[in-house]
């Protein structure tokens, strides 16, 4: 069972990076392929607060949680969609933790135990800390969201314009999950539906010195890229049919 769901997105912090494609590609499972530009790949850390998540058909129960996700931009050669850009979640935390038992049982996601905290000071800056149950840090950053359209680049960005960066990180409608049974599960941000609203992205200022990247990116050539904030809006996700893929045949000769 993989229910289609509605949710109210309370807010979303999106911290974007570019990384050497050669290094980042080691994290992406077959048959997904790393999406690249000028020899760089594109991981993001997303931290939304989800309210009133409920099955689309029933409307109940309704649950609320904080989410941490390390996602990577990929491409998938889909039998139904053709070559499609999307995201693959390398690691996820759902907080509070008991909700993840149900989510892991009824979907292909594998949410982990952990804790996500966000503390805002009087000047509008938010300190974000996410940790796994083991105490392993997932991310730390200090951010401040703006009401303005994201029209600036970070220092040493791999993009030429802010619109190029926006198109790379925002032009996404599909998520892909790969399981050991050689299936790719496809989750779509569904359109049309009565409450669908496009992402109203705003600029997110990030203090570079405050950023502690996840263990998976440690030691890589990580470049902070333009980052974004989304305020409140409705979301609708639906599952498309899963697609099986063949295991690549080894062509290595013995010895």
Question: What are the tens digits of pLDDT across the range 165-206?
Answer: 999 998 899 999 999 889 999 999 987 676 777 888 999 999
How far apart are the C-alpha atoms of 130 and 139, rounded to whole Å? Answer: 5
Q: Report, as an integer, the average pLDDT of 50-59.
A: 88
Mean pLDDT of 219-248: 91
CA dist 7 and 161 (Å) reads 33
pTM: 0.92
Which H/E stretch holds residue 98? helix 98-106
For the domain spanning 5-244, the CATH number is 2.40.400.10
pLDDT on residue 254: 47
- Higher pLDDT pick, 162 / 253: 162
**What are the structural domain ranges in the chain?**
5-244
CB 45 within 8 A of CB 35: no
The pLDDT assigned to 247 comes to 67
- Asked whether 53 and 64 are in contact (CB, 8 A), the reply is yes
Q: Beta-carbon neighbour count of residue 78 at 10 Å?
A: 17
Mean pLDDT of 44-66: 91
Please give the Cα distance from 73 to 36 (Å, whole number).
8
DSSP 13-73: EEEEEEEEHHHHGGGSPTT-EE--BTTEE-EEEEEEEEEEEEETTT----EEEEEEEEEEE
Tell me the average pLDDT across 134-156. 95
């Amino acid at each position: 069972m993989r229910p289609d769901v509605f949710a109210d997105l309370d807010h979303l912090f999106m911290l974007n990076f570019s990384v050497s494609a050669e290094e980042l590609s080691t994290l992406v499972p077959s048959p997904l392929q790393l999406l690249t530009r000028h020899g760089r790949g594109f991981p993001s850390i997303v931290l939304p607060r989800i309210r009133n998540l409920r099955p689309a058909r029933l409307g109940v129960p309704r649950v609320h949680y904080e989410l941490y996700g390390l996602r990577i931009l990929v491409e998938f050669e889909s039998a139904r969609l053709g070559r499609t850009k999307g995201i693959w979640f390398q690691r996820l935390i759902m907080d509070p933790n008991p909700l993840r038992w149900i989510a892991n049982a009824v979907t292909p996601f594998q949410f982990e135990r952990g804790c996500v905290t966000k503390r805002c000071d009087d000047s509008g800056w938010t300190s974000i800390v996410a940790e796994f149950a083991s105490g392993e840090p997932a991310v730390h950053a200090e951010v401040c969201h703006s009401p303005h359209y994201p029209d600036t680049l970070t220092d040493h960005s791999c993009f030429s314009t802010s619109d190029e960066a926006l198109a790379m990180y925002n032009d996404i409608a599909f998520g892909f999950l790969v399981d050991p049974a050689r299936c790719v599960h496809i989750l779509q941000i569904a359109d049309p539906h009565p409450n669908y609203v496009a992402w109203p992205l705003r600029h997110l200022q990030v203090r570079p010195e405050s950023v502690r990247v996840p263990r998976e990116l440690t030691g890589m050539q990580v470049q902070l890229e333009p980052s974004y904030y989304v305020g409140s809006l409705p979301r609708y996700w639906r599952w498309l049919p899963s697609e099986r893929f063949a295991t690549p045949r080894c062509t290595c000769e013995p010895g």
